[in-house]
Amino acid sequence: MRKRITLIVSLLLLATSYCHARALTLAEADTAIMILLFVVILLIVLGGFGLHYNRVITRRNEQLLRILNALDDYRAIVADGALSLDEQENVLKLQQSKSKAAKAVQTDDCQAFYVKMDARVNKEKPFTNPDFNQQLLAEFMGVDVETFRKLVPRYQDPERTLEYINSLRAEYAAKILMEHSDSDYLMDDMAFKCGFNDSASFNSAFKFAFGITPTEYLHSMSQMFKKNEYNNNQE
């Protein structure tokens, strides 16, 4: 704010000096001052918009921080309390043996498998392999592709499964950038670290998940932590 006030005062002084030096008429001086006032108003409007935008991004990132932490806590609880993969497989075989007809797995079983899968994938992070896909995800969970598609109907389409995998990669990148917001990360390196084949797909998946690009996220997160640190020092 002080910088903007200093800039405005400097512009007014320069305009006054210019009018005196050029010996402008009153009408010409008024025109010059009107132009200057327009520029000043434009700067104030742009500055206000910038402050509002930064506040919005900061609030969104604070909310994102809470969501990511809550997800970590939830997955930790689920991973500790859920059945093991062998136990889940035995339950599934028992249920299938009771019915000779080919039926879809019950909704509760599908949900339990999905929650377990989501917790385990986030814990072990197999998606950092750029070739990780539906086939590898099914193998990672110890089932074949056909069983996987029955257990997770929403991801029967390999492309939908890839969208899920990319969302996990984007979430993983957000956590890394959050923890190292003071570092100068090369986004190409970050993309490969999280399992993307290139920075373009990384940017696309990240923006789809969080509404901003990784670079914008890193910048706003850095500003948020600097602001919090400043407020703590003032206290």
Per-residue pLDDT of 157-170, as tens digits, reads 999 999 999 999 99
Segment 204-210 mean pLDDT: 89
Provide the token pair at 60: 């969104």
List, for residues 23-43, the tens digit of each pLDDT value.
Answer: 556 676 667 667 767 777 777
Cα distance between the two ends of the chain = 21
Residue 80, pLDDT > 60, answer: no
**Predicted local confidence at residue 103, as pLDDT:** 47
With CA atoms as reference, report the closest residue to 213 among 221, 224, 205, 223: 205
Q: How far is CA 90 from the centre of its chain?
A: 38
Confidence class of residue 120 from pLDDT cuts 50, 70 and 90?
very high
Asked if the model's pLDDT at residue 48 lies above 90, the reply is no
% residues pLDDT > 70 (the chain): 52
Tell me the chain's radius of gyration from C-alpha atoms: 28
Q: What's the mean pLDDT when you consider all of the chain? A: 74
- CA–CA gap between residue 151 and residue 118 (Å, rounded): 13
Does the pLDDT of residue 212 top 60, yes or no?
yes
Whether the pLDDT of residue 78 is over 60: the answer is no
Identify the residue with better confidence: 89 or 205: 205
Looking at residue 105, its pLDDT comes to 43
pTM to 2 decimals? 0.57
CB 95 within 8 A of CB 105: yes
pLDDT band at 96 (very low <50, low <70, confident <90, very high): low
- pLDDT at position 118 over 70: yes
Confidence band (pLDDT; 50, 70, 90) for 136? Answer: very high
Count CB atoms within 10 A of the CB of residue 178: 19
Question: What does each C-alpha distance from 124 to 83, 91, 233 come to in angstroms?
Answer: 17, 24, 38
Query: 99 phi and psi, to 5 degrees?
Result: -130, 115
C-alpha torsion 58→72→115→194, nearest 10: 70
Higher pLDDT, 225 or 151: 151
How far apart, in whole angstroms, are the C-alpha atoms of residue 181 and residue 225?
A: 8
Question: For residue 220, is pLDDT > 50?
Answer: yes
Residue 46: pLDDT band with limits 50, 70, 90: confident
Dist. CA 71–CA 67, nearest whole Å? 6
Is the predicted pLDDT of residue 140 greater than 70, yes or no? yes
Confidence at residue 139, expressed as pLDDT on a 0 to 100 scale: 95
The residue among 77 and 24 whose pLDDT is bigger is 24
CA 159, 162, 164, 167 torsion-angle sign:
negative
Residue 191, burial from CB neighbour count under 10 angstroms (0-12, 13-18, 19+): buried
Query: 99 in helix, strand or coil?
Result: coil
